[in-house]
């Protein structure tokens, strides 16, 4: 019987001494031989006991140690030593269910046109020790062929988290190295590239996503500086993903439908909570308007520029976005619609 192509399990970790042993055990217990699977752990400059725990698994586990640089730099370092034709991602604080790799490898083997596989997961709350299954109702293929498919892909994107995401090497060959400004959320460009090449999502929950206080993206509302960093990183990452999609040949309107809403909302969150320039608020609202309403009527354009744009320039962003929230909560748009036609006449 022919041996399956080598699979690389790529684990990124930083100060995960509480979790990394369970993570590694879950990968090594997938039932694949050393000739079928390699495990690469990239330690992004841990200062706790993570490194010593990883070393216990040598030589079965390849340990790559580097200075702290963030998630993108860890993915780049792991990719540079990965030999597999298939790469499965896993964060150092999460773990796989038994049979995960068998399920995703079977899916890849059964359809050569599929470039990636994701799946449902268990959301595990460390505080309560409860695991809640999350997953699509049925199997689905995520692709970016037009605006409608991009909007559908938005619903399934969350099932391409690290831990769920397995890609053929050709996906990574198109986009690596990842820009290292992506200190976290660096899986986003990999997920986006996977969708451009067709990603299958399985309904079964096959990994455990651990929610705990140190999650980089699960930041508490009381930590102002971390929230500021989160919003800034969201804006940066989705802006770079948008450019990546265009470079991969995705039509502008399709790429916009997938990611531009995230960019605009991240800027709005940041401006509303931390302030900024009136000019940035004006540009954010006008750019969002043009992305969403390319065929707007002259009346609606005048309304946006004179009323909304004027308001962004007349008051600090924090006040403007409070007013915007008040306007939305009271559904004041229904009054505007009686006076201003949104779409241009055809």
Nearest to 101 by CA among 172, 173, 12, 26: 26
The total number of structural domains in the chain stands at 2
Among 187, 211, 235, which residue terminates a domain? 211
DSSP 304: I
Taking only the tens place, the pLDDT of each residue in 41-84 is: 999 999 999 999 999 999 999 999 999 999 999 999 999 999 99
| Position 344 confidence tier, pLDDT thresholds 50, 70, 90 | low
Q: How far apart are CA 305 and CA 92, in angstroms?
A: 48
The whole-number average pLDDT for the span 161-184 is: 97
Q: Is 224 within the bounds of a domain?
A: no
Taking only the tens place, the pLDDT of each residue in 250-305 is: 999 999 999 998 888 889 989 998 999 999 999 999 999 888 887 788 888 888 89
CATH number for position 40: 3.90.550.10
If asked whether residues 288 and 199 sit together in one domain, one would say no
Is the per-residue pLDDT at 221 higher than 60? no
If asked whether residues 333 and 185 sit together in one domain, one would say no
Contact predicate 144/245, CB 8 Å: yes
Among 162, 179, 211, which residue terminates a domain? 211
Is the per-residue pLDDT at 318 higher than 90? yes
Among 183, 211, 239, which residue terminates a domain? 211
Count Cα atoms within 13 angstroms, Cβ side, for 2.
4
Q: Is 92 within the bounds of a domain?
A: yes
Range of the domain at 340: 275-346
pLDDT of residue 201: 98
If asked whether residues 174 and 66 sit together in one domain, one would say yes
If asked whether residues 187 and 70 sit together in one domain, one would say yes
| Position 225 confidence tier, pLDDT thresholds 50, 70, 90 | confident
Burial of 301 (0-12, 13-18, 19+ CB in 10 A): middle
If asked whether residues 47 and 195 sit together in one domain, one would say yes
If asked whether residues 61 and 145 sit together in one domain, one would say yes
Q: How far apart are CA 66 and CA 71, in angstroms?
A: 12
Q: Is 253 within the bounds of a domain?
A: no
If asked whether residues 89 and 183 sit together in one domain, one would say yes
Q: Is 268 within the bounds of a domain?
A: no
Taking only the tens place, the pLDDT of each residue in 21-34 is: 999 999 999 999 99
Q: How far apart are CA 20 and CA 48, in angstroms?
A: 12
Nearest to 57 by CA among 117, 119, 13, 4: 13
Nearest to 267 by CA among 314, 315, 320, 310: 320
Q: Is 244 within the bounds of a domain?
A: no
Q: Is 106 within the bounds of a domain?
A: yes
Per-residue buried b or exposed e for 80-105, using 16+ beta carbons within 10 Å of the residue's own CB: eebebebbbbbbbbbbbbeebbeebb
Taking only the tens place, the pLDDT of each residue in 112-165 is: 999 999 999 999 999 999 999 999 999 999 999 999 999 999 999 999 999 999
Task: Please report the beta strands in 92-134, taking only residues with DSSP state E, as ranges in sequence order.
Answer: 95-96, 116-125, 130-134
Q: Which residues neighbour 228 within 8 Å (Cβ) at sequence distance 6 or greater?
A: 270, 273, 274
pLDDT of residue 316: 95
User: With pLDDT > 70 as the criterion, what percentage of the chain qualifies?
Assistant: 92
Q: Is 14 within the bounds of a domain?
A: yes
pLDDT of residue 215: 66
pLDDT of residue 96: 98
Backbone torsions φ then ψ of 47, nearest 5 degrees = -110, 5
pLDDT of residue 336: 63
If asked whether residues 165 and 301 sit together in one domain, one would say no
pLDDT of residue 1: 41
Is the per-residue pLDDT at 233 higher than 70? yes
User: What is the maximal distance between C-alpha atoms in the chain?
Assistant: 72
Q: pTM of the predicted model, to two decimals? A: 0.87
Q: Is 103 within the bounds of a domain?
A: yes
If asked whether residues 51 and 199 sit together in one domain, one would say yes
Burial of 73 (0-12, 13-18, 19+ CB in 10 A): buried
Indicate the average pLDDT of the chain.
92
DSSP 343: B
pLDDT of residue 276: 93
If asked whether residues 48 and 175 sit together in one domain, one would say yes
Is the per-residue pLDDT at 219 higher than 50? no
Count Cα atoms within 13 angstroms, Cβ side, for 31.
9
Contact predicate 37/5, CB 8 Å: no
If asked whether residues 36 and 158 sit together in one domain, one would say yes
If asked whether residues 19 and 144 sit together in one domain, one would say yes
User: With pLDDT > 90 as the criterion, what percentage of the chain qualifies?
Assistant: 77
């Amino acid at each position: 019987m022919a041996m399956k192509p080598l699979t690389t399990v790529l684990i990124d970790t930083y100060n995960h001494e509480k979790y990394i042993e369970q993570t590694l055990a879950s990968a090594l217990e997938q039932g694949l031989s050393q000739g079928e699977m390699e495990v690469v752990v990239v330690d992004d400059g841990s200062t706790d006991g993570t490194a010593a725990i990883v070393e216990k698994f040598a030589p079965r586990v390849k340990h790559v140690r580097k200075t702290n640089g963030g998630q993108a730099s860890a993915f780049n370092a792991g990719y540079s030593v990965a030999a597999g034709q298939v790469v499965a991602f896993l964060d150092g604080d999460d773990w796989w269910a038994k049979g995960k790799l068998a399920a995703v490898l079977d899916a890849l083997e059964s359809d050569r046109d599929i470039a990636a596989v994701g799946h449902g997961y268990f959301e595990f709350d460390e505080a309560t020790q409860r695991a809640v299954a999350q997953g699509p109702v049925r199997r689905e293929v995520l692709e970016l062929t037009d605006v409608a498919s991009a909007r559908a892909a938005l619903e399934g994107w969350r099932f391409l988290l690290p831990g769920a995401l397995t890609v053929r090497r050709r996906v990574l060959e198109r986009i690596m190295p990842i820009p290292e400004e992506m200190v976290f959320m660096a899986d986003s460009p990999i997920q986006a590239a996977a969708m451009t090449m067709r990603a299958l999502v399985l309904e079964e929950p096959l990994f455990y996503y651990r929610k705990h206080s140190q999650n980089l993206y699960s930041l508490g509302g009381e930590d102002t500086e971390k929230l500021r960093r989160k919003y800034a990183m969201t804006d940066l990452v989705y802006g770079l993903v948008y450019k990546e999609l265009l470079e991969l040949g995705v039509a502008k309107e399709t790429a916009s439908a997938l990611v531009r809403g995230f960019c605009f909302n991240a800027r709005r969150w940041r401006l509303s909570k931390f302030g900024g320039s009136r000019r940035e608020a004006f540009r954010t609202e006008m750019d969002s308007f043009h992305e969403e309403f390319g065929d707007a009527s002259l009346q609606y354009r005048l309304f946006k520029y004179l009323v909304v744009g004027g308001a962004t320039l007349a008051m600090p962003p924090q006040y403007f976005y409070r007013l915007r929230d008040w306007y939305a909560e009271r559904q004041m748009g229904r009054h505007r619609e009686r006076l201003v036609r949104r779409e241009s006449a055809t």
